[in-house]
Amino acid sequence: RLLLSVAVPAGQDYIDQGFDVPVISQYADFLNVLSYDYHTSFDPETDHHAPLKSKPDIVDVEASKLNAEWTINYYVSLGAPREKLILGIPTYGRSFTLADENNNGINALAEGPGEPGPSTREKGYLAFYEICQKVEDDDWQLHRPHPHVEGPY
Report pLDDT digits (tens) over 14-73. Answer: 999 999 999 999 999 999 999 999 999 999 999 999 999 998 888 899 999 999 999 999
* Count of CB atoms situated within 10 Å of the CB of 45: 12
- Per-residue pLDDT at 56: 84
Coil, strand or helix at 4: coil
Identify whether the C-beta of residue 97 lies closer than 8 Å to the C-beta of residue 111. Answer: yes
Report if pTM > 0.85: yes
Annotation: CATH topology of 5-149: Chitinase A; domain 3 (3.10.50)
First to last CA, the chain: 42
Q: What is the dihedral of CA 105, 108, 113, 114, to 10 degrees?
A: -40
Report pLDDT digits (tens) over 95-142. Answer: 999 999 999 888 999 999 999 999 999 999 999 999 999 999 988 887
